[in-house]
Chains A and B, each alone.
Chain A
Amino acid sequence: MIAEIGGYAAALALALCLALGLLGVTGTKRDSRIGAVTAAAQAASALMALSFACLIALFVRSDFSAEVVAANSHTDKPLIYKIAGAWGNHEGSMLLWCLVSATFGAILATLRGSQAKGLWVRAIGVQGLVTAGALIYTLFLSNPFARLDPAPMQGSGLNPLLQDPALAAHPPLLYLGYVGLSVPFSMAMAALLEGRADQAWAKTLRPWTLAAWTFLTLGIGLGSYWAYYELGWGGWWFWDPVENASFMPWLVAAALVHSAIVTERRGSLAGWTILLAIMGFGLALLGTFLVRSGVLTSVHAFAVDPERGIAVLVLLFVALGAGFGLYALRAQKLAQPAGFAAMSRESMLVWNNFGLAVAAAVVLIGTLYPMIVEAAGGGLISVGPPFFNLTVVPLLGLLFLLMPFGPLLTWRVADMRSAFRRLAPAMALAIATFAVALALSRWRLVPAVGLSLGVWLVAGGVSYLVIRARRGAGGAAKVLALPLAAWAMAIAHVGAGVLTIGAMAETAFRSEQAVVLAANESIDFAGRRITLLNVGHVEGGNFSATRASFRVERPGDARTLVAEKRFYPTSPMPTSEVGILSDWGGDLYVALGEAERERPGAWSVRLYRNPLVQFIFIGAGLMAVGGLLSLTALWRRRMETGQ
């Protein structure tokens, strides 16, 4: 019964979305029609909420007559993971996609912002069509409410790797980001249909873009953190196709966050902003295609089904075809850009956009190249970290070089010399870092450059706050009284710097060692003496585990560390729970391997020292905090101006 209610609610939402799409896209100024469109958008979102609640109820009740529940759940699972199981599979995650899209449509319909009525109605309409497209795909090609007859007595369980709090939150956050990009897309399409993209339009576009970018940052950061502590490989980013699939929209969203500022403040770059919005959503759809179709080898390819992949590809072509087609027809109708000099706030933001867009293009080439080569009969290949390190990393480096200048320059024409003078302390610090890192790393250029760029970004962000505080009376002490928007930007930029420092230190200076240890045997590693104390058997809630305890000794400090190998009866494969000891310098990371066949009682153990690895996740967190603060600042401004 619950499954049927969920299915009907989703079908009704589909009908509403199609209707409101057609009514909205054609545009109108009549209030009665606008009222109908907004009410339909809100009703569709409520229906989707009901539908998704039904799916969660099926999982909570372990109703194995529903096919997704039988395939992905188990009565032994803790409640929280039963709920998370609702989106931990292909069908449920697509329903979540639809729910998020419909909800954003309802928010768009409720909060008009500063944009003109015609633009607003058309945007709601396009968003309705986006939701309808996703719903058609979900209901007809991957229906989460399909029944199974006869119902099995027990479900076949969730992949135990996924039974983890970070991973329960990872897909919803990522989807909020992916689908969040559908709103800028809808607004861009509305602007093209209406033939105008003014400053008031860009002002409403900004918070949507910021929100999508912030969610993407959180989702990617959390996924990376999970990979770090759960997969047991000691790494945090693998340039895996699916990681790239989320990184590309992130890069484009970051560009869009900045270009929308130019369009809002100066009225220029409107065409480019629209193009970015279309590409951002296109890449989000491509990401869904790459994940769902299983065309690329990946951790995430859990629905290997070419038919579904082709359907997502069709949706992608419809969205991009409509987007680029309209752009070609209408772009010249948009307002002419106001001019700016080669050295100005605008030009720096253009450089930011240029760098991020080229980086996204390079990641796209590297990700799709294996598919292209295979389709052309060139055999199976993989494009891995060496390619991306060679291409994307220098591009981002160039971008980071310019980053601290941007916020210090004025609009239209800026005085470069004064910017250099104000950034002199930051520059000195970066150069000093370079020299020290070069000497300490025995003349390794890449980590030295990377670390000094990271320090440059952090110092640049701090300098910005100090310089702004000094501008008025009261001096540097006034730094706390600066506007929230200034703090938000500085924190996000500092976050990028912190992440860079962590990524460089971890990549360049990490050490690892594989050893075989029996009880009470020791090994000296990374300035520590590590002793295996014992290996025992423990029972968890729905798993049993082999648990190894270690003593980690440094002069004046001894601590214990536990690493596990867990066995879930629902899965033939064990999973690792690595042991991590963090200190200011980084992590000691211990993964338990296999019992040695030739030496009873001895275990293979892998040891890693990951210097400054926590900076990576702190940096990503700071960027997300910057995004959230910036959103808060925009919200406050909106409240104050009463728009």
Chain B
Amino acid sequence: MRRRDQRLMMIGAAGAVLVGAIALTLVGLRDSVVYFVAPSELADKAEPGQRLRLGGLVVDGTVRRGEDGAVYFAVTDGAVQVDVRYDGILPDLFREGQGVVAEGRWTPGEAFQAERVLAKHDETYMPREVAEALKQRGEWKGDEAP
């Protein structure tokens, strides 16, 4: 093979890999991005079966274990309260009255099916999405924390 052909071959192969990587990136950004919603936006924004992150405060006194073994709790942003069902162990930092992000899917008329529950990781840290949602609703009181 002549040198020029070899160079063309390498550039061609590199181009093919690059096109593949760009295509996968675009598909990934279209399909596997997870949107964050506050409880009051859920009904408007959620499409059935779409993965979402639901953030808000855990409502006091709502955490209970269902007969199916799953954990149920309600999340609020001060305006709307949404029931969440989670089939697993809540993280150490999960507390009633504290911020939480539940990632999962929602079907109208049913509880939000969480596949993952993220609680804040230390006492001075609140998931930023939750803070934004609470600020928008005027429910923010995080700045007084130590």
Interface residues of A (CB under 8 A from B): 156, 159, 161, 232-233, 294, 296-297, 299, 301-302, 304, 339, 341-342, 347, 350, 354-355, 358, 362, 365-366, 369, 379-384, 386-388, 390-391, 394-395, 398, 514-516, 565, 571-576, 591, 593-594, 596-598, 604-606
Contacts and interface: CB of A to CB of B under 8 A. Distances in A.
Contacts of B88: 514, 606
> Which residue of B1, B36, B65, B92 has the most chain A CB atoms within 10 A of its CB atom?
B92
Given A156-B146, A362-B25, A598-B65, A297 B10 contact: no
Contacts of B32: 383-384, 386-387, 390
Contacts of B3: 339, 341
B80 interface: no
Given A342-B1, A379-B36, A382-B36, A395 B21 contact: yes
Contact of A606 (B6, B27, B89, B121): B89
A417 B96 CA distance: 66
B140 to A, nearest CB: 14
B64 to A, nearest CB: 7
Contact of B92 (A391, A565, A605): A565
A296 B89 CA distance: 25
Contacts of A350: 10
Given A342-B1, A362-B21, A593 B89 contact: yes
B89 A294 contact: no
> Which residue of B24, B28, B35, B69 has the most chain A CB atoms within 10 A of its CB atom?
B28
A576 B18 contact: no
A73 B20 CA distance: 50
Nearest to B6: A342
Contacts of A394: 20, 24
Contact of B10 (A294, A347, A379, A593): A347
Interface residues of B, number: 42
A341 B2 CA distance: 9
A571 B34 CA distance: 32
Given A297-B127, A606-B88, A390 B27 contact: yes
Contact of B33 (A296, A383, A594): A383
B18 A358 contact: yes
Given A366-B28, A514-B89, A574-B92, A297 B69 contact: no
Interface in B22-41: 24-25, 27-29, 31-36
B137 interface: no
21 contacts: A301-B128, A302-B122, A341-B6, A355-B17, A358-B17, A362-B25, A365-B29, A366-B25, A366-B28, A379-B36, A381-B33, A383-B29, A387-B33, A390-B24, A514-B69, A571-B123, A573-B93, A574-B92, A576-B92, A591-B89, A606-B89
A380 B92 contact: no
Contacts of B28: 366, 383, 386-388, 390-391
Given A342-B1, A369-B33, A604 B123 contact: no
A342 B21 contact: no
Given A358-B17, A365-B25, A573 B36 contact: no
Interface string B103-146: 00000000000000000011101011100100000000000001
Contacts of B90: 593-594
A391 B21 contact: yes
A606 B14 CA distance: 46
A531 to B, nearest CB: 19
A301 B18 CA distance: 33
Given A390-B28, A395-B21, A565-B92, A161 B6 contact: no
Given A342-B7, A565-B92, A358 B21 contact: yes
A342 B10 contact: yes
A159 B21 contact: no
B43 interface: no
Contacts of A381: 33-36
Contacts of A591: 89
Given A347-B10, A391-B24, A299 B121 contact: yes
Contacts of A296: 128
B122 A161 contact: yes
Contacts of B132: 380
Contacts of B85: none
> Which residue of A299, A394, A573, A598 has the most chain B CB atoms within 10 A of its CB atom?
A573
B83 interface: no
A529 B29 CA distance: 43
Contacts of B122: 159, 161, 302, 571, 573
Contacts of A574: 92
A292 to B, nearest CB: 14
Given A379-B36, A383-B33, 6 more contacts: A341-B3, A366-B25, A381-B33, A386-B28, A593-B90, A604-B65
Interface string B62-101: 0011000100000000000000000111111100000000
A338 to B, nearest CB: 13
A297 B18 contact: no
Contacts of B20: 394
A337 to B, nearest CB: 12
Nearest to A413: B6
B142 to A, nearest CB: 11
Nearest to B41: A379
